[in-house]
Structure formats: structure tokens, C-alpha cells
Structure 1
């Protein structure tokens, strides 16, 4: 089978810039969109420092709390532009080779953006899943503290459905495609069995907890398995 013709870097960049207009976690610039000095620290080192900062902010010394919260936020920053580009532009962007933006929790690509045509991939759902699963696994292999695997899987699922719900509200005309892709992704790889969609607008109940409740300044997330709803 012939390899599908890849969209140009310019086309992928245009798609990423368009979905960045949705705000927040949908922003994922490439090197052509950035200026200034590049960070010397590795992506993994940057993650560890951000996890420690979360612990300081929430007043806890339990290292796995910070690790889980930053992991959850990072998953949302991966899923959001990925889902939006796939559904709205038919492009699955390549999310390898990431770096932190300065001292923030934002991320960017280390190179000009690349991607593949969603409609021509033999298994588009798995291809989308792998774009998030691979960088998360790479980071998880470097964690200095043990965090339950299913907790991390639940983080990825929670971020997926949360990102999809935001996209659904922003682009209601894409409702069917957003819901279908989200449900399909929850049946792939480590996302299987992590939780259930509980409503038509992608409300979600996960089967694990991100541990935020364990911090003195924390609380429970809306999809937490420990909440009473």
C-alpha cells in the first residue's frame, strides 16, 4: 500500500494556528511561530521541576500529587490541538519532539510542524491515540516517584474527554465527529476501562483519582471517582 501524501508543513501549521484560536490548551506552536532562546533542559527535567512547583503551590510534600497533576495538564495540552486538527482539518499532527515554553506549563514543537491526512490512514483512531500515548509514556519512564499506571491512564482519559467537551462547545457543528472519535479512542490501548461517558455533552466519570484531593489546597475534579454525583 502506498504511503498517503503528507500535508505540507505550511498546511499543518495553518491548521494548528486555526485551532489555537479556540484558546487555552489548544495552542501548540511550532518553531516557526516562536522566537527567543530555547530551553537547554530536557523535556523530562522540565516536567520534574513543574511537578515540584505544583506541590509547592498546593502545599503538599507528596511527590506523586504534583507528578499526577502536571501529567494530567500535559495530556490536555496534547489532546486538545490533536483532536481539533483531526476533526476540523482532517490532519493528524505529529506530536513528537516537544519542549516547554520558557518557564510556563505551555508546550511547543521543537521543529516545523508535520502531520498525516486523517482520512487516508488505515487506522486513524490508533494513529491519533499514539500521538498522545507515546510522549506520555516517554515521560512516565523517567518519573522519580512511583505512580499507579491506571491512575496515569485515567489522567489521559480525563484529559481526552475534557478536551473533546471544550471542542464540542466551541464547534457544535462538528458534534458527531467529536463524539465518535472520543468514544472510539476510549476503546484503544491504555484508555480502555478508564471511565465512562455519562451524558450527551461528554460528561465523564473516571475510575481512578488524580490525587488532587490529597493536597491541603486541592479538591475534587468534576469527573472524580470519589465525588458523590
Structure 2
């Protein structure tokens, strides 16, 4: 009973989490996460069909028929859309949005939440990284269980880590006063779960060097990304 009461005490109001999400949406497109009232659409959140359509669109735009390339690039973009609002809400407002009801916001890559729920962020160093990872990388891993093409698990974990650090860098540019706690949380996240061993921070940007490749170099006219293991 005491544990249940403690969990209830950590809940934040719908208005508070909604206000936090509206505020961080001003940081840029990947931080935008609309909230709609009422229950989820009934389509099962981030549906496999929705992701397959997104990956197919990526293949068409990039001019490649290699299915795993479209899957990886679409997955990397989805990871950024999950990490960005969760990371920003946790550090700017001290709340972690519950992403259980995240779903596609129509055609395309935009996301929304059916109802706004959140929890008070744990104190730094006391489950903080785990709480943030559960609502971003945890959702991403559920999507990965039904991908339309086989992609190496290490690549997917590397995509998540790359998106995390990219989101952190964008947040830092907008909120430079967060450098200390943002650096601490990002480093903690890179030691959490499957993100451990995906790469390392090499500079204060934060600059990241991953140990895998997202396959974008296989796109006609494509190249390696700045954090790629293939970049010298």
C-alpha cells in the first residue's frame, strides 16, 4: 500500500504535463508532441503498418529499393521524435511524459499523445536515466518488434543512441544553462540498458561517435553521418 501511495504522489496533473509539452514544442520540430483528449485512436499506437508506410516513403524519397535502409533511416527519425520531448520535459520541467499512448498523427512521421499523463522526474542519479529511457527507448523497442525488414539489433541500438545525443545537442543549443544536468543525464542514458556500448561522447557538443552505421551511405548520393563509425 505504501508503494502504491508513493507512485500516486509522483503523478503530475494533465494540465501540468500538457503545459510542459507545449513549452518544449517551441524548441523545434522533433520536440513537438501534440496531445489529443480522450482515449487512443484504437489503432494500437505506433502501428507496424504506419511504420512500414513511413519506411517506404523514405525509400522512395531516397531513391533506393533496399528495404533495410528505409527502415533504419525512418527508425532514426522516430527515435529523435521520442527522445526529444521526453528529454526536454525531464530537464526543463522536471516531469516525464508517459508515452504509452503515443501514436501516429496521421500520415507522415509526426506523433501525438492520446491524453497527457506524466510522472515527477526522479532526482538526478536516483533512477533518473531509467525513467527517461523507459518512455523513449522503451517505446522504440516495441516498434522494433514488428519491423518490415530485418535490421541488426546493434544498428537499432546505435540509432537510438545517436538520436538521443542529437536531441541533447539541440536542447543544449536552445537552453545552454542546462549543460551540467544535460551532460550528466546523457552520459547516464548511454550507460542504460541496450545503449551501453553503442558509442561514446567525444566532445562538449555533445559530440558522439557511434559504433554502428545507420546505412544512409547506401542511399544514392548519400554519405556517412558525422557520428558514424565509418567516418574518419
TM-score under structure 2 length normalisation = 0.91
Q: Does residue 224 of structure 1 match 2:211?
A: no
Q: Does 1:117 align with 2:120?
A: yes
Could you tell me how far apart the structure 2 residues matched to 1:74 and 1:12 are?
21
- Give structure 1 stretches of 5+ with no counterpart: none
Q: Aligned partners of 2:168, 2:61: CA distance in 1, in Å? A: 28
Asked if the contact 2:128–2:185 (Cα under 8 Å) also holds between the matched residues in 1, the reply is no
**CA displacement at 1:112 relative to structure 2:** 1.4
What's the CA shift for 1:139?
1.1
Aligned alpha-carbon RMSD (Å): 1.8
Which residue number corresponds to residue 67 of structure 2?
63
Q: Which residue of 1 aligns with 2:109?
A: 105
Structure 1 residue 52: Cα displacement: 0.8
User: Which residue number in structure 2 is paired with residue 215 of structure 1?
Assistant: 219
**Where does 1:84-99 land on structure 2 (aligned, <5 Å)?**
84-99=88-103
CA distance in 1, matches of 2:61, 2:80: 20
Q: 1:40 & 1:204 partners in 2: Cα distance?
A: 36
CA contact (8 A) 1:39 1:102 kept: no
> Number of residues paired by the alignment?
223
Tell me the secondary structure at the aligned position of residue 119 of structure 2.
strand
Q: 1:149 aligns with which of 146, 153, 167?
A: 153
Per the normalisation by structure 1, the TM-score is 0.92
